[in-house]
Copies of this chain bind each other. A is one copy, B any other.
Amino acid sequence: MAEVKSDIEIARAATKKPILEIGAKLGIPPEHLLPYGHDKAKISADFISQQKGRPDGRLILVTAINPTPAGEGKTTTTVGLGDGLNRIGKKAVVCIREASLGPCFGVKGGAAGGGYAQVVPMEDINLHFTGDFHAITSAHNLLSALIDNHIYWGNEQNIDIRRIAWRRVMDMNDRGLRHIVGSLGGVANGFPRETGFDITVASEVMAILCLSTDLKDLEKRLGDIIIAYRRDKTPVFARDIKADGAMTVLLKDAMQPNIVQTLENNPAFVHGGPFANIAHGCNSVVATTTALKLADYVVTEAGFGADLGAEKFFDIKCRKAGLKPDAAVIVATARAMKMNGGVKKEDLGHENIEAVKKGCANLGRHVQNVKKFGVPVVVAINHFTLDTEAEIRAIKDYVATLGAEAILCKHWAEGSAGIEDLARKVVALAESGRSQFSPLYPDDMPLFHKIETIAKDIYHAGEVIADKAVREQLHIWEAQGYGHLPICMAKTQYSFSTDPNLRGAPTGHTVPIREVRLSAGAGFIVVITGEIMTMPGLPRVPSSEKIFLNADGFIEGLF
Contacts and interface: CB of A to CB of B under 8 A. Distances in A.
A53 interface: no
Interface in A230-252: 242-246, 248-250, 252
A549 to B, nearest CB: 6
A464 interface: no
Contact of A537 (B37, B149, B178): B149
A45 interface: yes
B174 A148 contact: yes
A180 interface: yes
Copies in the complex: 2
Given A243-B544, A548-B248, A185 B181 contact: no
Interface in A510-558: 537-538, 540, 542, 544-549, 553, 555, 557-558
Interface in A201-253: 215, 219, 242-246, 248-250, 252-253
A142 interface: yes
Interface residues on A, range: 35 or more
Interface in A17-46: 31, 34-38, 42, 45
A242 B168 CA distance: 27
A428 to B, nearest CB: 42
Interface of A is mostly: mixed
A134 B128 CA distance: 9
B177 A547 contact: no
B177 A182 contact: yes
Interface in A151-174: 152-154, 168, 170-174
A546 B246 CA distance: 8
Interface in A131-148: 131, 134-135, 137-138, 141-142, 144-146, 148
A292 interface: no
Contacts of A34: 37-38
A345 interface: no
A177 B168 CA distance: 10
Contact of A145 (B131, B146, B174, B219): B174
A447 interface: no
Interface of A: 31, 34-38, 42, 45, 101, 105, 127-128, 131, 134-135, 137-138, 141-142, 144-146, 148-149, 152-154, 168, 170-185, 188-190, 194-196, 215, 219, 242-246, 248-250, 252-253, 537-538, 540, 542, 544-549, 553, 555, 557-558
Given A145-B175, A170-B170, A249-B555, 4 more contacts: A35-B38, A128-B134, A153-B540, A176-B190
- The 4 A-B residue pairs with the shortest CB-CB distance, nearest first, are A245-B548, A179-B185, A134-B134, A246-B544
